[in-house]
């Protein structure tokens, strides 16, 4: 395919990040065995950092932005994929070291490509995207480490974000009592509609100071880090798991060994971008079956056109986004 197509490309020019629409050909893209006609992408906090330069995400320039995509195989030299196959890709170094999903076409390595799970389509897959995959991966790893509903409620921090919203939906569907933590009092009804049994406002939390406070939670999915993650180590009960995902609240963790050696608390680091293919397939199969969200329509709070993409990043940096934004590409 030699014709040109539209792409949102990120440059570093005179030490400044410049992101703009350009016309590219496949020869301009990173190498790969599978060419996909992109139908939908999405916006993650990481995408906003990359496109605005607010965070150091790209490790080479220029690159097409967008860490997620879903679409249809156009051509493939990888025998696992045929033209017309519906597929998705999340993470895997897209918009870090490889051209990403903010383009009408993407060229990808075969090992990154996931066949569209039954019951999902391109739009639903991007309503989930990296956020949904990360939430499912966190739950999968927690349960693999012994987490069950009978061990007590699971607290989800950063609850109105993409990962938090999907995690609440998935956990409630699995029978867990879910406690959502948010700084947005106006989002209480939204969080309860997804399955949260209780909503804690961040301003009302007593974070405590002792190495161990009263045990309140069976486990946690933490999207915040910093003081919030420290608080969770103090308050998760015996043998509970804390899935550590984000650091919007800070990268520093001030704790002692006491939660780990006296209560057996486990911190599970969740790196969804670098997840190996075999585990990706397992988790996406769970997303399509026992972890399938029940409220995707409520979580997909915005669908925007490709041309609207540049104006959508600021809200992520300002922390005002609730749910997920899907981007219609083709």
The CA–CA distances, whole Å, from 212 to 189, 201, 232, 261 equal: 32, 21, 10, 11
The CA–CA distances, whole Å, from 281 to 83, 116, 128, 284 equal: 20, 10, 15, 5
- Tell the CATH topology of 5-116+295-328: Quinone Oxidoreductase; Chain A, domain 1 (3.90.180)
**CA angle (218, 125, 43) in 5-degree steps:** 85
Cα–Cα dist 214/311, whole Å: 45
Q: Which residues contact 34 (CB under 8 A, 6 or more apart)?
A: 73, 75, 76, 77, 78, 81, 87, 107, 108, 109, 110, 113
pLDDT at 1: 64
pLDDT at 76: 98
Which two tokens mark 70? 């879903």
**CA angle (169, 177, 323) in 5-degree steps:** 25
pLDDT tens sequence for the chain (330 residues): 678 999 999 999 999 999 999 999 999 999 999 999 999 999 999 999 999 999 999 999 999 999 999 999 999 999 999 999 999 999 999 999 999 999 999 999 999 999 999 999 999 999 999 999 999 999 999 999 999 999 999 999 999 999 999 999 999 999 999 999 999 999 999 999 999 999 999 999 999 999 999 999 999 999 999 999 999 999 999 999 999 998 888 999 999 999 999 999 999 999 999 999 999 999 999 999 999 999 999 999 999 999 999 999 999 999 899 999 999 999
pLDDT at 175: 98
Ranges of H-type helices in 152-292? 162-173, 188-194, 226-235, 258-262, 277-287
pLDDT at 215: 96
Cα–Cα dist 68/140, whole Å: 21
CA 305 to the chain's CA centroid: 21
Ranges of H-type helices in 59-216? 122-144, 162-173, 188-194
Q: What angle, 0 to 180 degrees and rounded to 10, lies between the N-to-C axes of helices 277-287 and 122-144?
A: 110
Number of H helices, E strands in the chain: 9, 16
Cα–Cα dist 64/221, whole Å: 31
CB 11 within 8 A of CB 49: no
Which CATH number describes the domain made up of 131-269? 3.40.50.720
pTM of the model: 0.95
What residues does each domain of the chain span?
5-116+295-328, 131-269
Which two tokens mark 135? 């939430």
* Three-class DSSP category at 29: coil
> What letter would DSSP give residue 311?
G
Which two tokens mark 40? 């939908």
pLDDT at 13: 95
Cα–Cα dist 32/76, whole Å: 9
Cα–Cα dist 35/271, whole Å: 26
């Amino acid at each position: 395919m030699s014709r040109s197509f539209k792409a949102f490309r990120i440059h570093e020019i005179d030490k400044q990040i410049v992101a703009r629409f350009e016309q590219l050909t496949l020869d301009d893209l990173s190498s790969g065995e599978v060419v996909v006609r992109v139908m939908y992408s999405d916006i993650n906090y990481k995408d906003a950092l990359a496109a605005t330069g607010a965070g150091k995400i790209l490790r080479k320039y220029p690159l097409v932005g967008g860490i997620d995509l879903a679409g249809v195989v156009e051509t493939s030299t990888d025998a696992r994929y045929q033209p017309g196959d519906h597929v998705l890709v999340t993470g895997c170094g897209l918009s870090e070291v490889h051209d990403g999903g903010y383009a009408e076409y993407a060229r990808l390595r075969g090992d990154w490509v996931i066949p569209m799970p039954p019951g999902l389509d391109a739009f639903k897959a991007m309503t989930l995207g990296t956020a949904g995959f990360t939430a499912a991966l966190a739950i999968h790893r927690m349960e693999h480490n012994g987490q069950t509903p009978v061990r007590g409620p699971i607290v989800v921090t950063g609850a109105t974000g993409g990962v938090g919203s999907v995690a609440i939906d998935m956990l409630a569907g699995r029978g867990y009592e879910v406690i959502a933590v948010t700084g947005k009092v106006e989002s209480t009804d939204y969080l309860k509609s997804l399955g949260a049994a209780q909503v804690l406002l961040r301003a009302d939390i007593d974070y405590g100071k002792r190495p161990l406070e009263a045990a309140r939670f069976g486990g946690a999915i933490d999207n915040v880090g910093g003081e919030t993650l420290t608080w969770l180590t103090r308050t998760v009960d015996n043998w509970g798991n804390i899935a550590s995902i984000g650091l919007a609240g800070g990268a520093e963790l001030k704790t002692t060994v006491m939660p780990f050696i006296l209560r057996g608390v486990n911190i599970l680091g969740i790196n969804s971008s670098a997840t190996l293919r075999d585990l990706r397939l397992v988790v996406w199969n769970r997303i399509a079956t026992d972890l399938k969200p029940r409220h995707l329509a409520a979580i997909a709070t915005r669908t925007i056109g490709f041309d609207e993409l540049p104006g959508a990043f600021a809200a992520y940096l300002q922390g005002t986004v609730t749910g997920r934004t899907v981007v219609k590409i083709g």
